[in-house]
Structure 1
Amino acid sequence: MSLHQWLLFAVAVFFVSATPGPNMLHIMSRSVELGLRRSFPAMAGCMSALVVMMGASALGLTAILMALPGAFDVLRYVGTAYLVYLGIKAWRAPVEESSAEAEVINPKLSPFAIYRGGFAIALSNPKALLFVAAFLPQFIDPNLPKLPQFAIMVATFAVIETTWYFTYALGGRGLASWLEQPSAKRLFNRITGGVFVGFGALLLKSR
């Protein structure tokens, strides 16, 4: 991979990662709900799932899914159902009347549970497999060993994607003081829930 190819890849990933999606929304809502530091496991979960999906695409899982009739549709339906479930859960989330109580929302939620939620969110969109399968090969030099190139792209993607995770998480913390008002928190929950359901609907309509 030449420096020119790497720069093109980095710029493309920068803009792709900046686009709001289920991962970014999940991390922002976790930051609002739990605080910036406790949202770190959610970031790690989302990133882990994306790296797994990138590796799966590199190993040819995408081609297998496309070759098996109905396999991709099954994954799409499962992903849609999960996103809709999260949307309904966010919409119906209880709102504490006391800001002091709001500071200890889900105090017993373990880092692993937060990580698992982020992993499941990122894994719920099988379109990422197809995106990676179509996106990465454009930057691979066929005349050079593929594994080192793939490793460089994964590392670059991880750094840029994580930077955007922090950006969205910090944005969530900026909303936190406003969200101390129960009416504002209720509005945020319903917007978040509606957006998750919208992502599910878009996934269901995709082919």
Structure 2
Amino acid sequence: MTWGAYSSYLVFVVLVVLAPGPDTMVTLKNALAGGARGGLLAVCGITMGNLTQGTAVALGLGTLIVHSQPVFTTLRWAGVVYLCYLGVQALRSAWRGDYGTASAAGSRSSGFRRWREGFFSNVTNPKVLALYLSVLPQFLDPVSTGTLDALLLAYTVSVLGGLWLLLLMFFVHRVRTWLRRTRVRRSLDAVTGTALIGFGTALAAES
């Protein structure tokens, strides 16, 4: 692979990474509820999910999953249910508005729970798999490129995506004083919850 081709790929990946999606909302949800630690663990889970899907595509397993209708359908509906579940959690927090008690409970929440929310929200999202399958072949020459090139392209998405989410998490941490206001927290939780359910509904509506 030439540096010119990789540079073009980088430009495309940056545009994809900056577009808000379920990963963004899950990071916000956990950063708001669990602070910097909660946000960091969620980002680590999302990045691991991204690496898992990217590796599957680079090694040829992604094509098998997509072409196996029962497996792909199961994955899609698992993603729908999980995104909606996370969205309902955020909406419940917005409805209750009891952030004093919630903050104490959030500080005691298992770190694995934060990581798990990030990992499963990503790994059960077949749109990530479909993105890899549709984009990577455009930048790979079957004659001159191999598995290592495919892994490089896949891991580039994971790394840049993780870095962007880390920046988002640190921004949330920097403005945490403002975000502690009950009205602001309720509004953000309502927006985040609605967006997550919206992403889940859009995923369910796809044929």
Please give the TM-score of this superposition, normalised by the length of structure 1.
0.88
Distance in 1 of aligned mates of 2:156 and 2:119: 20
Q: 1:114 to 1:5 in 2, by over 3 A?
A: same
Tell me by how many angstroms 1:164 deviates.
0.8
Structure number with the higher helix fraction is 2
CA-based RMSD: 2.1
Which SS does the other structure have where 1:92 is aligned?
A: helix
Unaligned runs of 5+ in 2: none
**Hey, what does 2:25 align to over in structure 1?**
25
**Farther-moved stretch of structure 1 (152-161 vs 132-141):** 152-161
Q: 1:135 to 1:151 in 2, by over 3 A?
A: same
Unaligned runs of 5+ in 1: none
Q: 1:197 to 1:49 in 2, by over 3 A?
A: same
Tell me by how many angstroms 1:185 deviates.
1.7
Q: 1:57 to 1:97 in 2, by over 3 A?
A: closer
**Farther-moved stretch of structure 1 (102-111 vs 85-94):** 102-111
Distance in 1 of aligned mates of 2:134 and 2:199: 21
Structure 2 counterpart of 1:96, from 98, 104, 126? 98
**Hey, what does 1:173 align to over in structure 2?**
173
**Hey, what does 2:14 align to over in structure 1?**
14
Please give the TM-score of this superposition, normalised by the length of structure 2.
0.88
The amino acid across from 1:126 in the alignment is P
Distance in 2 of aligned mates of 1:31 and 1:22: 14
Q: 1:18 to 1:170 in 2, by over 3 A?
A: same
Distance in 2 of aligned mates of 1:183 and 1:2: 51
- Whether the 8 Å contact between 1:29 and 1:172 is mirrored in structure 2 is no
